[in-house]
Amino acid sequence: MPHWRRSPDSLVTFRVLWRLLALLFCLQVAFAGVAQEVSRSAVRTSEPDEAYTIRVPPEAIAYQRWGRVIGLSSTALHLMGLYLLLHCGGACRLRDTVYRWLRCSPPQYGHPPALRACALYFLLYSLVALTWRFPPTLARFGLEHAYGFSRQSLPGLLGDTLLSLLFGMALVPVLAGGYWLHWRLPRTGWVVAWLALLPLLVFQSLIYPVFIAPAYHRYTPLPAGELREQVMELARRAGIPDARILVEDTSRRTRHVNAYVTGIGPTARIVFNDTALRILPRDQLLAMTGHEIGHYVEGHLRVHLMAAAIGAGVFLWGAWRILPLCIRRYGPRWGVQHTYDLAGLPAVLLVLSGFLLLQSPLESALSRTLERRADAYGLRLTGLREATARLFVGFAERDYTDPDPPRWLHFWFGTHPPLKERIRFTLTFDASVR
Ligand SMILES: [Zn+2]
């Protein structure tokens, strides 16, 4: 029997796996739903003060609508692009090109590909993938320009795209290692792969702010002055007097206002966009600082990292079983000869993208919970309820963030509680209740 023909056993395993995945998915959707309801119940029911009612400019509605269209079509295009690359034979043509350029024949049947073949295939794939990944990026660029937010030039956007492509090449050793482990340990290799991936995840979070982010932006310490004194006083009260507070030259790219926490351990830092320093009044800046200090003190990045580690384990466990079944079932149609055939890479990425999409509600629910905690921490630390509420009103009126996004979209992708909810939470916040 040819190797790719399905045996009854593999069909049963396939069905069991799909059922297991469906069950896992339903469980996590239910879990995310509960988290959302718990988060909503934390908000008192009284209506906020008139002064904090958001007046959404009419053009913001169109901006938000287009933003949603671009975001959703970007996801759909990516999944479709990967599928078409496999279905139309592009994936195996890329593989043939790789071995022709390297002047060598593919590895002996059933053996994993060499690192240099993986690297060249991944590079060619990344260039081909630009055909479906770049149009949404360009559309987002156009939208941001049309509404006067973007300050980036087209060459600047192309430079960023090229940089991301280069950083993406760091995945090549991970991919080659995965192929090798699957070849050596076809049943249990996912555990070894997972254990090897954990320090890499930590390493990535550690080096991101010092090696990767500076390739896109310039970071400088918050200048000395009254604001720095006030920010450091908040940091001292929060028990982090040595916290690194930096300013990012965001205004080279956009007018949007933001601040964030990045890095872990020795590279942890609070970063203000320079746009925030220019636009926001002092009390709103301090309110924003309180929120970011909340993320920093409560170690929310570590929580995200732990969630990513668990997610990586679930993905590897599933991919280890699903991919060989997929290749056995659809390989002959796609021209993919076996699990370690480089032409199967888009199938690996398709499974990964599908997994990321399916786990999105859970990831978003976790993010919203941590954002709510950071809001509460900031309010307890600063006591700036009105300034915090005005900060949120500004996000909707100035930056056109949808204050009340569609429920399903928010459930699936919403990383922060809706602004309307955050304002109500802020104005009714009781610092004595923990
Ligand atoms: Zn936050």
Distance 292 CA to ligand 1 centre (A): 6
Whether the Cβ atoms of residue 95 and residue 346 lie closer than 8 Å to each other? no
* Ligand 1 ion local residues (Cβ < 5 A): 371, 374
Identify whether 152 is part of a domain.
yes
Identify whether 198 is part of a domain.
yes
Distance 215 CA to ligand 1 centre (A): 23
Predicted TM-score (pTM) of the model is 0.84
pLDDT at position 337: 87
Instruction: Enumerate the β-bridge partners of residue 271.
Output: 246, 260
pLDDT at position 43: 41
Distance 282 CA to ligand 1 centre (A): 19
pLDDT, one tens digit for every residue, the chain (434 residues): 344 344 445 455 556 556 665 665 665 555 555 555 544 444 443 445 667 888 888 899 999 999 999 999 999 999 999 999 999 999 999 999 999 999 888 777 678 899 999 999 999 999 999 999 999 999 999 999 999 999 999 999 999 999 999 999 999 999 999 999 988 998 899 999 999 999 999 999 999 999 999 999 999 999 999 999 999 999 999 999 999 999 999 999 999 999 999 999 999 999 999 999 999 999 999 999 999 999 999 999 999 999 999 999 999 999 999 999 999 999 999 999 888 899 999 999 999 999 999 999 999 999 999 999 999 999 999 999 999 999 999 999 999 999 999 999 999 999 999 999 999 999 999 877 66
DSSP 69-82: HHHHHHHHHHHHHH
Distance 83 CA to ligand 1 centre (A): 35
Distance 286 CA to ligand 1 centre (A): 14
Identify whether 120 is part of a domain.
yes
Q: Residues in the chain, how many? A: 434
| Kind of pairing between the strands at 219-221 and 245-248 | antiparallel
pLDDT at position 216: 96
What is the phi/psi pair of residue 260, to 5°? Answer: -160, 165
Q: Where are the beta strands (DSSP E) in 275-344?
A: none
Q: Is 21 exposed, middle or buried (0-12, 13-18, 19+ CB in 10 A)?
A: middle
Which of 61-70's residues contact partners 24+ apart within 8 Å by CB, and which partners?
63/143, 63/147, 63/400, 64/400, 64/401, 64/402, 64/405, 66/143, 67/140, 67/143, 68/409, 70/136, 70/139, 70/140, 70/143
The rounded distance, in Å, linking the Cα atoms of 373 and 350 is: 34
* Helix H or strand E encompassing 248: strand 245-248
Report angle CA 136, 301, 360 to the nearest 5 degrees. 45
The rounded distance, in Å, linking the Cα atoms of 313 and 190 is: 8
- In which residue are the tokens 């053996």 written? 111
* Full domain range(s) for residue 104: 8-218+296-427
Q: How far is CA 210 from CA 201, 293, 297, 360, 379, in A?
A: 15, 20, 20, 28, 30
Identify whether 236 is part of a domain.
no
Distance 237 CA to ligand 1 centre (A): 19
The number of distinct structural domains making up the chain is 1
Identify whether 224 is part of a domain.
no
Identify whether 231 is part of a domain.
no
Distance 204 CA to ligand 1 centre (A): 20
Distance 137 CA to ligand 1 centre (A): 24
Distance 109 CA to ligand 1 centre (A): 50
Distance 295 CA to ligand 1 centre (A): 7
Distance 323 CA to ligand 1 centre (A): 36
Distance 368 CA to ligand 1 centre (A): 9
84 contact partners, CB below 8 Å, separation of at least 6:
90
Identify whether 252 is part of a domain.
no
Whether the Cβ atoms of residue 231 and residue 242 lie closer than 8 Å to each other? no
Distance 260 CA to ligand 1 centre (A): 7
Distance 304 CA to ligand 1 centre (A): 12
Distance 288 CA to ligand 1 centre (A): 9
Distance 172 CA to ligand 1 centre (A): 32
pLDDT at position 20: 60
Distance 272 CA to ligand 1 centre (A): 12
Q: Is 302 exposed, middle or buried (0-12, 13-18, 19+ CB in 10 A)?
A: middle
Distance 259 CA to ligand 1 centre (A): 8
| C-alpha dihedral (85, 88, 89, 91), degrees to nearest 10 | 0
Distance 214 CA to ligand 1 centre (A): 21
pLDDT at position 190: 95
Identify whether 291 is part of a domain.
no
Distance 22 CA to ligand 1 centre (A): 31
Distance 316 CA to ligand 1 centre (A): 29
